[in-house]
Amino acid sequence: MDEKVTVEMTLAQYQDYLLLQVVRAAEEARRLKEELDAANARWEEAVQLTKTNGCTDEQLAAAGLPGSSVGTPVGDDSFGPTDGSQTAYSPQADDRGPFDSTSAGAPVPPRTQPEWSELKIKMHDNFFQPRDITVKVGDALAVSNLGMHTHNFSIEDTDIDVDVEPGETSSVELSALEPSTYTFVCAYHREEGMEGTITLT
């Protein structure tokens, strides 16, 4: 149909026009959300890697990362202290990530050194976040699907094989596993690079 609104349009044609705009807006919102999730994942992985390798909050601030006077993402107050003191960054403080505009002005929860065994593994289309984790033997692991497609969480050389539907979270029991490093994958999207490693200590 002609996408221009004209006075000759019938009510049905105008309703079709409006529905088309809604569909297009939804598609654009979905695309932007996927890009946002990917940006947040890269940000969290970069911070985790720098903290794991001994970088301090002062060094991150000096590099212009969130918490310093420059380079702070719009609407972000989830990194660094608000009272001038230095506390450890915790990616658990806000699962939405620093680039989510809905976090602007939100209260900043207390920060503690992250316990990676408590983190959920998040499934996106098509990657895990984080891709490398360390947990304690016996811990239960929460696996959340934030993508638009069904994903799978399987640990190689074990009996763990779980499908997770979009928007759902499954608990994965690790008590039967011996301390070691394992590879976990999505059986449906491994060829797209959806895999990672889990270390049990």
pLDDT in tens, 96-120: 444 444 444 455 454 443 444 346 8
| 69 CB-near residues (< 8 Å, 6+ apart) | none
Report how far residue 85's alpha carbon sits from residue 172's, in angstroms, rounded to the nearest whole number: 37
Per CATH, which fold does 115-201 belong to? Immunoglobulin-like (2.60.40)
Report how far residue 124's alpha carbon sits from residue 186's, in angstroms, rounded to the nearest whole number: 11
Q: How far is CA 81 from CA 7, 16, 38, 95, 106, in A?
A: 57, 51, 25, 18, 14
- How many Å separate Cα 141 from the centre of its chain? 16
| Confidence band for 145, pLDDT divided at 50, 70 and 90 | very high
pLDDT in tens, 55-80: 777 777 777 665 433 334 444 444 44
Across the chain, mean pLDDT equals: 74
| 129 CB-near residues (< 8 Å, 6+ apart) | 41, 44, 45, 121, 122, 123
For residues 64 and 123, the model is more confident at: 123
Which residue intervals of the chain bear CATH 2.60.40.420? 115-201
